[in-house]
């Protein structure tokens, strides 16, 4: 017996603001704020943004570098989003990045150089993901068992990781000539690939970008198609309801933070063993915080994260070309921070658009009524199809216009 | 170096580290007690450091201008600047009903970026170093008292006493006045307060602005006491988050946070004084550096389970 899908027609009503519209509004407001800042120091904002686009996209190499920068942002965005779906706010991506980076760097330093890459690459990827997973798990464990707020614990773990790296660089991988940096990793032991490097004329683009795309698919699959993903999301939307339904809330919190940590540490691996190839003592990676912006702007969906990461990659890579204009490069960070501020207020942005849509709908409704009265059609508006409604509204508006002209 | 002399040099330094954290935590106390989760103490304090540094550098460059007056003006400017920044958080949290955790994070990032942006515009580098901070002084008479004198009244900063006074006044304001009762009630059960005819939004604005003012003082204290510079690279090393941890550890009570911030101040001293004391010299810098953060985590494990957080903190009204 074939299942017949009954088509339910939703009653016709005003459109609701989609997440895309809300995100684009936040981007718009962020860019406006950036323009205001540039104007405040007496520079031309259009020149500034032109330079940013030039610096990020003007040739193959620059595009490659932008994608290389976006790689980290995609992975961290995924990490933050994954935790967010379980109702957790992971602002410890910086620390998890450092843990992944230091694990990868130490292995790259000590594993033999003639090792086949097919074996070598999986080893460093798995090892650094494990390190980050442990780092994330600590926060999840503290949250689940001791009710320690994850925002505070992840920040504390960030600084702990910072000092661990500070200690490990001189201990294991120091560059004797520059005593505050690690020795650059040999290219065969990084994530860089000859064909990618050739294709983009020696940019920083590496296998990490492909890993990031794979991870987008994996995260989408876990969240949308598996029981685990369903459980995690259930905990995120209502902890108590999920508990009542028999979902192990504490276990979900720990798993979610561990996966988030693994994703962020993969970002650290691509950053320190693919993008920059060295680690510095006493440097907290900013990308951990940018990832929050990526996740929020991308509405925590893998596709959204991919595109918003590329957008932030353009901002972060393109700012290097600002030097000649006299605009401080921090303008990019200012814009990113402003965008987060506005995405935090998404309720207001959404209701702003909803009001616009609603008043537009009401005007069309009035016009459509007029047209329907002329045609003698007395179906209620709510059960009209959108196409039919639009036709009536158009006709009605024409009548209204005529009426005005006559008057 | 004897044990006693180690103690007498650790304690004054611990007090110096305690005061900024105490101010940050007290700011957080006002905000959270009024019902607004405030994770942007870090950003507010950093903004205080920056604006005090910029002001003091400009004033101290004027020949013949009193150094002390420059510092006083610097602290006041820091308070005003941080209060302005906190208004952004208040507006998002109270009027726009934003997610307060995200809004706080945005303020932190905004503060880091804007201060660096302005520092680049003003000095052309990421650092602003002031000519002279506050000179440590012994308190007359009191520093002669045995035991207590050398521990608490020798080589102190005058800001320490002002901050402790603010702490005392805050305790009085929050627990002994009707205003304090209303503010605390806004964080527990805002609709009950509203039905009694109190303007909850106004109270919450006051709470958040107070956190801005106090974090501003805290930031300025970091600058004029032990740091002496605004450094974009390290910011304030997560001190604002230590303040939030101290708030949780101190169970959202003034006396509690005084104790917990002193504990963190002591940890910070141990982390930073490793090079000075021979007993710590064998421990690598990295281990000492991570000590306060690990101590915080352990402290949180013991204090977070039965949380005394204000019930309505983080809930828009």
Q: What is the pLDDT of residues B48-90, one digit of tens each?
A: 999 999 999 888 888 888 888 989 999 999 999 999 999 999 9
Q: Which tokens go with B81?
A: 């600047």
CATH hierarchy code of domain A56-344: 1.10.3470
Cβ contacts (< 8 Å) between B293 and chain A: which residues? 156-157, 159-160, 163
| Cβ within 8 Å, pair B92-A146 | no
pLDDT for the residue A4: 54
Q: What is the pLDDT of residues A104-162, one digit of tens each?
A: 999 999 998 888 888 999 999 999 999 999 999 999 999 999 989 888 899 899 999 99
Percent of chain A exceeding pLDDT 70 equals: 97
CA dihedral A98, A104, A106, A108 (to 10 degrees): -150
Mean pLDDT, chain B, as a whole number? Answer: 87
Which residue of chain A has the CA closest to B306?
Answer: A147
pLDDT grade for A1, boundaries at 50, 70 and 90: very low
Q: Which of residues 353 through 392 in chain A touch B, CB cutoff 8 A?
A: none
SS3 B310: coil
Cβ contacts (< 8 Å) between A156 and chain B: which residues? 238, 241, 245, 293-294, 296-297, 300
All structural domains of chain A with their residue ranges:
12-42+352-407, 56-344
Within a domain: B182: yes
The whole-angstrom distance between B156's CA and the closest CA on chain A is: 29
Residue A32 has pLDDT above 90, yes or no: yes
The whole-angstrom distance between B300's CA and the closest CA on chain A is: 6
**Residue spans of alpha helices (H) in chain B:** 3-33, 41-61, 67-90, 100-123, 148, 158-176, 178-188, 190-195, 200-222, 239-249, 254-272, 285-303
Please report the DSSP string for B259-305 in residue order.
HHHHHHHHHHHHHHSTTT-GGGTTS-HHHHHHHHHHHHHHHHHHHSS
- Sign of torsion over alpha carbons B89, B91, B92, B95: positive
Q: CA A236, CA A231: separation in Å to the nearest integer?
A: 9
Backbone φ and ψ for B230, nearest 5 degrees, come out as -95, 125
Residue A3 has pLDDT above 70, yes or no: no
Average pLDDT, integer, range A15-42: 88
All residues at 6 or more sequence positions from A281 whose CB lies less than 8 Å from its CB, including other chains = A165, A166, A169, A170, A180, A181
Residue B123 burial by CB count (10 A; 0-12/13-18/19+): exposed, middle or buried? middle
pLDDT for the residue B116: 87
Q: What is the pLDDT of residues A359-399, one digit of tens each?
A: 988 888 888 888 888 888 777 877 778 888 888 888 888 88
- Find which of A106-115, A168-177, A219-228 is predicted with most confidence, using mean pLDDT: A219-228
| Cβ within 8 Å, pair B238-A158 | yes
pLDDT for the residue A2: 47
Give the one of B98, B109, B285 whose C-beta lies nearest to A289's C-beta.
Answer: B109
User: Based on C-alpha coordinates, what's the Rg of chain B?
Assistant: 20
Q: In a mutagenesis test of the B interface, which of A250, A330, A331, A338 is the best target, namely the one with the most B β-carbons within 10 Å?
A: A330
Average pLDDT, integer, range A157-185: 89
Residue B1 has pLDDT above 70, yes or no: no
Number of domains in chain B: 1
All residues at 6 or more sequence positions from B176 whose CB lies less than 8 Å from its CB, including other chains = none
Of A19-23, A331-335, B280-284, minimum mean pLDDT range: B280-284
| Cβ within 8 Å, pair B110-A341 | yes
Within a domain: B316: no
Cβ contacts (< 8 Å) between A151 and chain B: which residues? 39, 101
A167 in contact with B, Cβ within 8 Å: yes
ipTM for the complex? Answer: 0.85
Q: Which of residues 183 through 242 in chain A touch B, CB cutoff 8 A?
A: none
**Domain membership of residue B102 as a residue range:** 3-303
A330 in contact with B, Cβ within 8 Å: yes
CA dihedral A327, A332, A335, A340 (to 10 degrees): -160
Cβ contacts (< 8 Å) between B231 and chain A: which residues? none
Residue recorded with tokens 């005005």: A404
- Sign of torsion over alpha carbons A86, A88, A90, A96: negative
Q: CA B198, CA B204: separation in Å to the nearest integer?
A: 11
Residue recorded with tokens 């993903």: A229
Q: CA A233, CA A252: separation in Å to the nearest integer?
A: 9
Q: CA A192, CA B146: separation in Å to the nearest integer?
A: 66
Residue B274 has pLDDT above 80, yes or no: no
Give the one of A147, A340, A348 whose C-beta lies nearest to B307's C-beta.
Answer: A147
Q: How many CB atoms lie within 10 A of CB A393?
A: 23
Q: CA B126, CA A18: separation in Å to the nearest integer?
A: 40
Residue A58 has pLDDT above 50, yes or no: yes
Mean pLDDT, chain A, as a whole number? Answer: 88
Residue A406 has pLDDT above 80, yes or no: no
pLDDT grade for B283, boundaries at 50, 70 and 90: confident
Alpha-carbon distances, residue B294 vs A201, A299, A312, B103 (angstroms): 45, 33, 33, 27
- Find which of A379-383, B9-13, B111-115 is predicted with most confidence, using mean pLDDT: B111-115
Name the residue among A254, A36, A215, A26 with its Cα closest to residue A133: A254
């Amino acid at each position: 017996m074939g299942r017949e899908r009954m088509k339910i027609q939703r009653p016709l009503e005003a459109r609701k603001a989609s997440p895309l519209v809300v995100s684009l509004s936040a981007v718009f407001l962020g860019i406006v704020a950036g323009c205001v800042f540039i104007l405040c120091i007496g520079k031309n904002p259009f020149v500034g943004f032109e330079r940013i686009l030039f610096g990020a996209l003007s040739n193959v190499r620059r595009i490659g570098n932008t994608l290389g920068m976006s790689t980290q942002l995609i992975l961290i965005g995924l990490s933050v989003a994954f935790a967010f779906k379980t109702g957790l706010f992971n602002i410890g991506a910086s620390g998890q990045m450092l843990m992944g980076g230091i694990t990868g760097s130490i292995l790259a330093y000590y594993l033999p150089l003639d090792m086949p890459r097919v074996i070598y690459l999986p080893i460093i990827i798995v090892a650094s993901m494990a390190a980050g997973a442990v780092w994330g798990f600590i926060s999840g464990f503290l949250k689940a068992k001791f009710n320690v707020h994850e925002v505070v614990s992840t920040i504390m773990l960030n600084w702990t990781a910072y000092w661990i790296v500070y200690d490990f660089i001189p201990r294991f991988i120091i560059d004797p000539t520059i005593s505050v940096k690690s020795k650059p990793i040999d290219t065969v032991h990084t994530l860089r690939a000859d064909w990618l490097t050739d294709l983009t004329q020696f940019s920083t683009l590496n296998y990490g970008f492909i890993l990031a795309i794979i991870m987008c698919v994996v995260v989408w699959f876990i969240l949308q198609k598996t029981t685990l993903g369903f459980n995690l999301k259930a905990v995120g939307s209502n902890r108590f309801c999920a508990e009542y339904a028999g979902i192990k809330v504490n276990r979900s919190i720990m798993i979610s933070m561990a996966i988030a940590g693994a994703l962020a540490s993969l970002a650290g691996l691509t950053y320190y063993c693919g993008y920059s190839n060295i680690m510095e003592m006493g440097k907290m990676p900013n990308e951990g915080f940018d990832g929050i912006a990526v996740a929020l702007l991308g509405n925590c969906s893998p596709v959204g994260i991919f595109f918003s990461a590329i957008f932030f990659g353009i901002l972060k890579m393109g700012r290097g070309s600002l030097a000649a204009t006299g605009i401080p490069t921090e303008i990019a960070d200012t814009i990113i921070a402003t965008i987060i501020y506005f995405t935090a207020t998404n309720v207001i942005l959404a209701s702003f658009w909803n009001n616009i849509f609603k008043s537009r709908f009401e005007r069309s409704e009035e016009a459509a009524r007029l047209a329907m009265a002329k045609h003698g059609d007395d179906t209620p508006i709510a059960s009209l199809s959108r196409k039919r409604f639009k036709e009536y509204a158009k006709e009605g508006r024409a009548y209204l216009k005529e009426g005005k002209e006559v008057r | 170096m004897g044990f006693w002399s180690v103690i007498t040099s650790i304690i004054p330094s611990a007090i110096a580290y305690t005061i900024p954290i105490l101010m940050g935590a007290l700011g957080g106390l006002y905000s959270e007690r009024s019902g607004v989760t405030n994770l942007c103490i870090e950003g507010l304090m950093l903004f205080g450091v920056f604006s005090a540094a910029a002001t003091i550098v400009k004033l101290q460059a004027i020949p013949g201008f009193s150094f002390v007056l420059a510092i006083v003006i610097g602290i006041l400017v820091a308070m005003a600047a941080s209060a302005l920044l906190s208004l952004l958080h208040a507006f998002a949290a109270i009027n726009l009903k934003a997610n307060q955790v995200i809004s706080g994070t945005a303020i932190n990032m905004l503060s880091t970026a804007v201060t660096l942006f302005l520092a680049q515009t003003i000095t052309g580098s990421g650092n602003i170093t002031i000519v002279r901070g506050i000179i440590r002084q012994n308190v007359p008479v009191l520093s002669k008292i045995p035991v207590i004198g050398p521990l608490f009244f020798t080589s102190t900063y005058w800001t320490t006493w002002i901050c402790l006074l603010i702490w005392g006044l805050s305790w009085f304001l929050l627990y002994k006045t009707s205003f304090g009762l209303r503010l605390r009630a806004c964080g527990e059960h805002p609709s009950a307060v509203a039905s009694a005819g109190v303007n909850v939004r106004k109270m919450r604005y006051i709470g958040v602005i107070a956190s801005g003012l106090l974090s501003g003082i805290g930031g300025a204290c970091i600058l004029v006491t032990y740091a002496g510079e605004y450094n974009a690279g390290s910011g304030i090393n997560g001190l604002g988050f230590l303040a939030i941890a101290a708030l949780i550890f101190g169970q959202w009570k003034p006396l509690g946070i005084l104790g917990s911030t002193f504990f963190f101040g002591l940890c910070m001293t141990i982390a930073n004084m490793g090079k000075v004391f021979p007993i710590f010299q064998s421990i690598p810098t990295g281990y000492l550096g991570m000590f306060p953060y690990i101590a915080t985590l352990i402290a949180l494990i013991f204090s977070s389970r039965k949380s005394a957080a204000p019930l309505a903190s983080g809930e828009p009204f």
